[in-house]
Amino acid sequence: MTRATRTPPSQAQRAARFVLGRITFYVGSSLFAAFFVLPLLWLTVAPFSTLANLDLRLPDPWSLQNFERVFENGFAIRALVQNSMIQGFGAMLLVTLTATLAAYALSRANIPGTTAITYGLVLFSSVVTGTAAMVPIFLMIVQLGLIDTHLGVILVFTGGLLPAAVFIMRDFVDSIPRSYEESAMVAGASSWRVFRDIALPIVRPGMMVVGVWAFVQVWGGFLIPFILLRDADKMPASVAIYSFYTEAGTPLITLTAAYSLLYTLPVLLLYLFVNWRYGFRFFGGIKS
């Protein structure tokens, strides 16, 4: 066997390699950053410009006039602060509560085949997607008399988001040592008290994450409200944004941009909140 010989790099070589490495890193980072930032740049300045321009330039003068005009559009504002909120919070509450209960049972009761159930659900939910199943979902909501209601939208979102929510939540509950509940049982607490006093407070961070996730999904969701709602008074912002489009389907650029910014704000704030509070990351179980 021959032994590969390697001359150790000289100091100058090492310095050169280091500089080269730094340069590669900065150039690469800039390219990645550019790829993600450039498409959004225009949207961050356009709302403050009085000119309906699509090219990227600083507003001259900076103005809040677009926002004033957006606020004059009662329909779009109601969609944002009322309808999107009702649908987002409604689905968030339902998803979080039912997913927490189910995930807790999957983790803590000896239900046979729990892992198979969880994985089966997640897979099945990725098979029966909102797009593939839009016809039966629409027909079902018609049949239930829930067409054109907030409740219909909330229920459909809840059903669609639940499997993934249960999956995330179960991972979270599984990561909590059983000794918390066991010590409460030994201390003399009934099952209900164990759940209320111990389990629920301990899984609260998981519930927060799932809740925020569900809210963001519903907040940004377009297709479901688009096909389930007819009445303008119930449209969420994702659909109402098209009130800033002309009949021909082209947007009134300044107003749409301003509205887009308002509409995105809650999602951004929630993301920053979650990132600050819990760190935005994946829980372990998603890997296999």
CB of 39 to another protein, least distance (A): 4
State how far the Cα of 227 lies from the Cα of 86, in Å rounded to an integer: 18
CB closer to another protein out of 62 and 119: 119
Residues 6+ apart with CB under 8 A from 199: 104, 108, 173, 176, 180, 181
State which of positions 21-80 bind another protein (CB under 8 A).
25-26, 28-29, 32-33, 35-43, 46, 53-56
State which of positions 90-119 bind another protein (CB under 8 A).
94, 97-99, 101-102, 104-106, 108-111
CB closer to another protein out of 74 and 177: 177
State which of positions 179-238 bind another protein (CB under 8 A).
179-191, 193-194, 197-198, 201-202, 204, 216, 219-223, 227, 237-238
CB of 86 to another protein, least distance (A): 16
CB closer to another protein out of 12 and 186: 186
Q: Answer yes or no: are the C-beta atoms of 52 and 253 closer than 8 Å.
A: yes
CB closer to another protein out of 65 and 197: 197
CB of 165 to another protein, least distance (A): 9
- Evaluated on CA atoms 213, 219, 220, 223, the torsion sign reads positive
Beta bridge partners of 251: 245
CB closer to another protein out of 74 and 249: 249
State how far the Cα of 6 lies from the Cα of 8, in Å rounded to an integer: 6
Q: Is 148 in the site for another protein (CB under 8 A)?
A: no
Tell which one of 77, 85, 140, 208 touches another protein (CB under 8 A).
140
Q: Answer yes or no: are the C-beta atoms of 266 and 238 closer than 8 Å.
A: no
Q: Answer yes or no: are the C-beta atoms of 275 and 216 closer than 8 Å.
A: no
Residues 6+ apart with CB under 8 A from 149: 234
Report the residue count for the chain: 288
Token representation of residue 258: 């301003």
CB closer to another protein out of 64 and 111: 111
